């Protein structure tokens, strides 16, 4: 049976690329984002509306702000109504106030810090918490992160702190849920959040996330970090 996948922050960057990869694999993909018009455009593109697209999967979407747990509650209820229990969740939504390397933490405002943590860390908590009632018995939850979560890098400010917190949230759920919950690190990827210089295209790392959510051994994902090395070793 083709999987049912729910993705937050799915209208651009890695989230959009992963949504495309899952649709190409035949999945039912529920996409979400803060911009409702962008969600509608993403769903239309994924479904090939008007361009003769023939991807085997199906996309559905809803406007969701992960800072609002009630948005997430309605989203996952909608996914369950449309497609039944959820096989995989990609908690991808995130913000970065300012440019990478340009936001020293000692210059970060309280407002930017609070919003970054509410979106990137609390948002992961709320995403997983609201998904739990709708997960299949062997579901997987993937949280994207990177080296910035555990290495000291200048100018990354609240974003680095939020990613470290998001990883801790994932480990907590891994310890307490039957579902496999883990972190996936794709390395430096060209997105609006991280910049574009010397980075991989989102499309090139999307298969890593599909693999982690469907084929990687559950015990290797649960409470752990998977990255390009593990993916390439397993799929070469």
pLDDT tens figures, 143-195: 999 999 998 889 999 999 999 999 999 999 999 999 999 999 998 887 665 55
For the chain, the domains span 4-235
Would you say 131 and 186 are in contact if contact means Cβ atoms under 8 Å apart? no
Q: Does the domain made of 4-235 have the CATH classification 3.30.70.2390?
A: no
The pLDDT of 61-67, averaged and rounded, is: 98
Could you give the dihedral angle defined by the CA atoms of residues 150, 154, 156 and 158, in that order, rounded to the nearest 10 degrees? 80
Which residue carries 């579902």 as its tokens? 179
In sign, the C-alpha dihedral spanning 111, 112, 117, 119 is: positive
**Residue 49: predicted pLDDT:** 73
Residue 26 confidence (pLDDT): 96
56 pLDDT exceeds 60?
Answer: yes
**Euclidean distance between CA atoms 145 and 157, whole angstroms:** 15
Q: Give the distance from CA 203 to its chain's centroid.
A: 14
CA dist., res. 189 & res. 179, Å (int) = 27
Q: Among the residues of 84-227, which ranges form H helices?
A: 110-120, 122-131, 157-176, 202-214, 218-221
Rg (CA), the chain: 17
Contact 58, 82 (CB under 8 A): no
Between β-strands 180-185 and 135-144, what pairing exists: parallel, antiparallel or unpaired?
parallel
**Has residue 11 got a pLDDT over 60?**
yes
């Amino acid at each position: 049976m083709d999987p049912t996948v729910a993705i937050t922050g799915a209208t651009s960057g890695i989230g959009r690329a992963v949504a495309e990869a899952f649709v190409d694999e035949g999945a039912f993909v529920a996409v979400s984002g803060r911009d409702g018009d962008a969600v509608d455009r993403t769903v239309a593109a994924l479904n090939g509306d008007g361009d003769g697209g023939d991807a085997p999967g199906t996309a559905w979407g809803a406007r969701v702000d992960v800072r609002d747990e009630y948005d997430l509650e309605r989203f996952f209820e909608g996914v369950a109504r449309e497609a039944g229990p959820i096989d995989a969740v990609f908690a991808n939504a995130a913000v970065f106030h300012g440019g990478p390397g340009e936001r020293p933490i000692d210059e970060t405002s309280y407002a930017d810090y609070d919003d970054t943590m509410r979106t990137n860390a609390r948002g992961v908590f709320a995403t997983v918490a609201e998904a739990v009632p709708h997960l299949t018995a062997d579901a997987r939850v993937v949280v994207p992160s990177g080296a910035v979560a555990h290495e000291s890098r200048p100018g990354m400010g609240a974003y680095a702190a939020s990613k470290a917190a998001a990883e801790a949230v994932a480990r907590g759920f891994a310890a307490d849920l039957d579902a496999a919950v883990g972190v996936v690190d794709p390395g430096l990827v060209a997105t609006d959040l991280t910049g574009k210089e010397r980075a991989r295209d989102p499309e090139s790392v999307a298969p890593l996330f599909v693999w982690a959510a469907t084929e990687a051994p559950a015990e290797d994902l649960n409470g752990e970090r998977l990255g390009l090395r593990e993916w390439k070793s397993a799929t070469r």
